[in-house]
Structure 1
Amino acid sequence: MPSLNLLTVFNPSNYWRSGNFTIPWQAIAQKFQISPTELVLTDLRDLTHQPLKAQIDRIDPEDPSRDTLVFHLSQPIPPGTEDHVLASTFIRLDRGKPIPPGLGEPYLEVVYGGDGRERGVRFVNNRLIIWFNFIPAPEDNERNWFSGSASSVQLDHQEILDPFRAAMGEWLGQDPEKRCMQVSKLHLPGIASPKSPNYQVSLFNHSYRLVSQSSGPVRATITIASEPFDYMGPDPVTGQNRHLVCELYRVISLYAGADYLIEELFIKGKPKAQEDRVKGSETVNLDFGVEYFAHMNLGQTQDIEQVFPVPDWFAVGSTTDPYAAYGLATNLHIEAIAHPYEENTSRFSWQLLPGKSVKCLHLFMRGQPQGFDAQVGHAWYELIYRPLNAEIYQDTDVKMPLQNTRLVTA
């Protein structure tokens, strides 16, 4: 193992920050030759060498390049620069015994049906309990439009999606249509020649399969994939029309202590037939647009859309106690928001502009008649637009701030 087995940590903001880091694991494993079961991280500022909370998540077993190292820094790091020239601190990688599992860590429970297939997953941390559906009809009836949605979101043990009935202690009488985070439709480029309209794929009534799951001290994560769908359209590299069999992948994570979920989405396409194969990788990552749907009984609402400088987040909050609110932040521009949707004030729909990968934050709030939109905007800045960053240390022109950053912890 190299003597300088370090990660360089960057804070892109002009104020002190702490929080979570995600970094591709494959290059680290190849360089330092440390197995995931032996990995121990420490902050070089900490003279007690207290191990950091860390884990390695396998996102897609077919693609090791997506394996991810996740760790948490609880001690704030000093300001840096957006161009990552000024390092905020360094993290040492060693072999040792990782922190044993502890109480209060986020976890998930996958629920299986009598046929052995996954029906959904329950996410839990000390703030949120969320039920997420993999199948169209979770109640095994004719209402088969719930795939890929969270049909219960409890914040501090109170339901957010139907807050007024929840505040009265009702559970069985809550709206059976309530749900959020549902990817209802995908929009993909039409064939290049002859030019055709965008290709649309509906997902609300098609099942997802479980690809991977992991839990650790930092987060609980699942990867799910939609049912395969056929697509005829332009190859993103060659521009030539190809017939592909595609799946939408969704990587959904609940962090320790968080009142939000973060999800990342991408599409994997594989050649339908031999004549659709080209040189290079068989897997194609396509550009796509996402259309979300939610049914939340918030009553009269205050809807706030960010329009300057970029429309990358929005917030909606009830004007009535207990002031339930929801916010979305994303790395892509929001093309359109519809509320009320289909003339129903409880229904919301929004569409994102196309991209090869999508990252979204779904934030749940209560008890904030004012200022809930600022919370969404701040989450967009710190977790989507300017997240904390780390990379393998390189002995180049990276500089440290001219201040004492050494820590001595109890």
Structure 2
Amino acid sequence: AVIILLLFCMAPSAAIGVMGAKYTGTIAPGGTDTHVVTIDIGAGEPATDVGVTVAGFGQNPGGIYTPLSPANDLNPYSARSFITLDNSTIHLEPGTKQSVTATITLPKNVGTGGRYAILYIYSLPGAGAFSTAIVVPVFITVAGTTPTETGSILQIDTGTLTTGQPITITTTFKNTGNYHYYNTINEVNMTDSNGNFIANASTIPLIYAIIPGNTVQFVAQPNVTNLQPGTYTVDSKVFLNGQVLDDKSTTLTVSTNYIPPATQSSVTVTPGSQATLASPDGRYSVLFPQGSVLSDVVVTMKPYSLSQLSPAPSGAKLGASSFEITGLSGLLSKDATVQVNYSKDDLAAASGDASQLKLSYFDAAQGTWVILPTQVNTQDMTLTTTTNHLSVWAVMVSSSTSAASTKTPLPAVLSVVALAATAIIVGRTIRLRK
């Protein structure tokens, strides 16, 4: 009800179309070019006021283009100061369109390579305001100069090693050349102290261009099996069109035996017999009693990263173990028994007090974590509970001894609202045309 109320309180989002959503051109030093951006709204939309400004060309860690204010635009390859607009505000009546012309004039001593800026289109306060902004990237090639495509790995972060969670290698990379490039790939290799291969991983080609002077991050998760205590070498390479732009290494120290995330497993549950779904390493298991389902269903257990979990409720905190059960469309007819072998990292999260460890699942329909009464066996290091609800599960640290549900924090609710609003915007169409 709160979500619906918030959606109705939002300003209407106009269906806005943009022609000329990207500029790529070659201009000689001292030369000039123009780029026309045409903005329109549908005939059934309310009148809308739109602002257009020239911004610096920034990027977030994932490479997504972001506008920079003049104060933050310190990139020597910026073209922001070379661009003027014939109009910074336009008014759109339903079914009409208006154009804004950007004039690009390069100085004679502009230098070599490329120059970059963003035309930022946004709604002005008032009726008909659309709920998003549009970034028009400007890629300028300086004619008669030689592009330089180089880059440097600034840092390799191996993160915190947690039993049952993937090893995540984050490589921070900077374009040190004078020209942008697409489709960069990060490859990570792990070897032991004797140089023996342990695991590797590669990212998909980055769909965004890396702008010279800008920094992005690549995230790779090597498919590592059990690691014994010791020191391992992590080598990270960034490739462009098969050529290595940079190659750097760091070390990863493992102090206790590392156990990777459980791999995916499935079982067919039938009404007439019991069935057990277990992770291949046996750390997680679900026993379905006879009659727990009304028809045959394939149930799957999948690894689930801690970083994807909703925040723990007030008075509790997440442990180190998590997984997901999929395939069920509703509640079970009879309770299943869920058992988890808790890890040393789970125990460490509870400051060594195993009695604080509880099994919990996330009820997506209610936006809540449900912390269940849990039997703790310290000898076998197991947690056991029963439930008719199977979804995303996690070990939780909590002093609660009875079932309790806790509302998701307001930011998570607002995230749902934002997603719903985005769906409305998409439904009403934002059209970008070159």
When normalised by structure 1's length, the TM-score is: 0.22
Bigger Rg over Cα: 2
By relative contact order (CA 8 Å, sep 6+), the higher-ranking structure is 1
When normalised by structure 2's length, the TM-score is: 0.21
